[in-house]
Structures are given as structure tokens and as C-alpha cells.
Structure 1
Amino acid sequence: MRAMVFDGDSPILREDDVPDPAPGDGQMLIDVHACGVCRTDLHLVDRELDRPKRPVIPGHEIVGTVAELGAGVRGFAVGDRVGVPWVGHTCRVCRYCLSARENLCDEARFTGYTIDGGYAERTVADSRYCFHLPAQYSDVEAAPLLCAGLIGYRTLNMAGDARRIGIYGFGAAAHIVAQVARHQQRTVYAFTRPDDQAAQQLALRLGAAWAGASDEA
């Protein structure tokens, strides 16, 4: 299959022919339809993340269809459309895993960083960390929800029932969570880098009550 590979040295991914992956126990083989680009992917190729798998296929906002099931997979069938996020494996027994904070697990493994990801024609993923996707979203529309959407919604939940929400930085995650917050009839304030007029205008178009620089009151 074709894949875009990061070898750990050059910041430019190289196109390569690599063997098709095979699903192990609990895994699914997935035909990739779309894979978004996250800021973390850029951190990876800029070598700002230590100890990546080398070489590695980046990409963790994956949308595709199940092509093959490994032994023991439950809740999925061949042909299902699924999403694959950043967190790809955890121990499931530590205090973080048992308190819905799996992203802090010391044994966590991450798609496109320590596990091969979605910049390829096919990928394998642990079925326990995959999602069924609703039909109303296209593949391209659904892909950013697998990271930017998830982390934005997680932080919004952590804000409890706060009616005024301040968002620092207005990029991929923020522009999604701002729409959710406005749908919930919360008031959104968007803080951006000084002089980032484009991000401020985007925030206002999406319903923010105020948008300005992070050094402003």
C-alpha cells in the first residue's frame, strides 16, 4: 500500500510502498478514506515530540471503513464506517484509566506517533478505541472531529455549567467548541495572538460575544 512516512530526520514526509498491515487480536483493518492534519502532526515532523516510533506513518484524525476484523472484536462489522482518534491504547487498569482520564495513562500509545496512523491507504487500530460515525457527516467533515472536536468538547464538559466561556487561541478545536457552546446558549469570549485579525473575525462570525488579543482586557 502507499503511505506517507516520517523517518525521524527529514521534516518532509516521503511517499513509500509498505506492506499492508494485518489486524491482530482486538484490532480492525481499516481502509482509510480521509485523515485530517493536526498541529500535533506538525510537532512530530518538527521533532518537538520525543520518542516517536521510527519510521512512523503519522495521522490520527482517521475516517475509513472496516475491511477485516481481528479475533475478539465486538460491536463492529466489515463495512462499518469508523473513526480512529489520537489515543490508540491504554492499560485500562491504572487510576487514570479508571477515572475516565485515559489520556494520562503511563502506558498509553498514540495513533500516528507511537502507532502507525492514517496517512496511508490502510491502517490497523484497536477496536476499543474506535468510534462508529453518524451518516450525516461526510468523511472530510468527520475527520477533524476525531481530535479537534474531541478535545474541545472535553474541555467544555470540564467547564461544567459555566455560562461564560473564555477560549484562548482560536484554531481547529476552538472553532468547533465555540459552535457547540453557542448552541448551548453560552457566551463565548475568544482570545487570540495579538494582530490575528483573521482568527478574531472567524470567532465573531461563529457567534462569539467578543474577540480580541490575549493581552487585552
Structure 2
Amino acid sequence: MASRGGFMVTGTNGADYEHREKIAIQYQLSALNKSRLKYCVFFHHVLFLVMVAKLSADILDKLDIFILEIEELQIPQPLWWEYIWCISLLLSFIGLAALKRNNIKQLRRYMYGIAILGFGPLLYCLIYYCGDVWRYLTKDEDEDSSEIDIELWQGYPYGLLWYAFVFLASQVHFFQLYFSFNLLKAWRARGALRKSD
């Protein structure tokens, strides 16, 4: 106000009111972590589309739809963990609803769901393909991959492709849990400040 030529108290330039314009740290952290968690949810959706592309041959077979181009890819049959991991996408809607309402209880459910339906199937995948990946990584350069009993898809070791997916998905899930935990701390701090007022 003083800078616009209005009334000004003698001995001040109006800068003494700057402290009122500061945003409390818990609100800054909440806004920052909400934004980051939304990016993680977006990447979760991208990975879901990759998984659906992999499962498309099996889904189309169950619907009795025949598409020659997809059948020619000879995509290996899916395992149950792939479908269970796909269910983890539904958790993103719980997480986004929690962000909209700053709901601690829903955010906790989201975190537990990601730990169980996100990390659980990925851990199973790591264990299931561990033998194939180990055989592929320790084989001699002279040996042919077909002689060693390694499952290949389009000339690439199938287990190693899954390990790449697990690496990306576990990073996304880790950051989802990390930003959710930071949000819980910020929201609890805000609640504690309200109670003390």
C-alpha cells in the first residue's frame, strides 16, 4: 500500500509486513509433493499401457478375437503376477482423490496398496526370472543362447526384459511411496498447528 502512494506510517517503508506474505513450510511441502506424486501417477499409467500392450495377445485370445499381426509377434503367455500388477493402477484413483481432499486415511490406503499390489508382483517377477537372467549373464561368449535353456523373445532374453520393466516400475513405486510419506508428514504438521491454535 505504501508503495502505491497511500497512507504510510512514519519511519517505515512497508517492508515490515513481509512476514505475513510467507507461506508456511508445510503448505509448500504439500504443494510440491502433490505435484511430484501426480507425475509418478502419470508414469504409473504409462507403465500400465506397456503392460497392457504385452497382455494384449492374451486378452484378445480370451475375447476370441484374432489379429494376425499380434499373433505373429509370438508374445509369451502371461503369468498371474502381470494381471495383479495391473490392478495397482486402480490405486492411483484413490491416491488422486486423497490429494484432492488432503485425506490422510485414503493416502495411507494408497501407500499400503502400492506396497502390496505394486511391489509384491514385481518381487515375484524378480524371483521367478532370476535363474534365466543368471544363466544369461554368466554364459560364455562361445555358447549359443538356444543351448542354455534361456527363454528368448524376438532374440532378446525374456527375463532381462522383465528386469528392465521391474527396474522402471520399482522406481515409480518407490517415489510414489516417498512423496506420499512426505505428504503425510506435511498434513500431520498442519493438523498439529491447527490443534495448537
- TM-score, scaled to structure 2: 0.22
- TM-score, scaled to structure 1: 0.20
Q: Which has the larger radius of gyration?
A: 2
The structure, 1 or 2, with the larger RCO (C-alpha pairs under 8 Å, 6+ apart) is 2
**Of Structure 1 and Structure 2, which has the larger fraction of its residues in strand?**
1
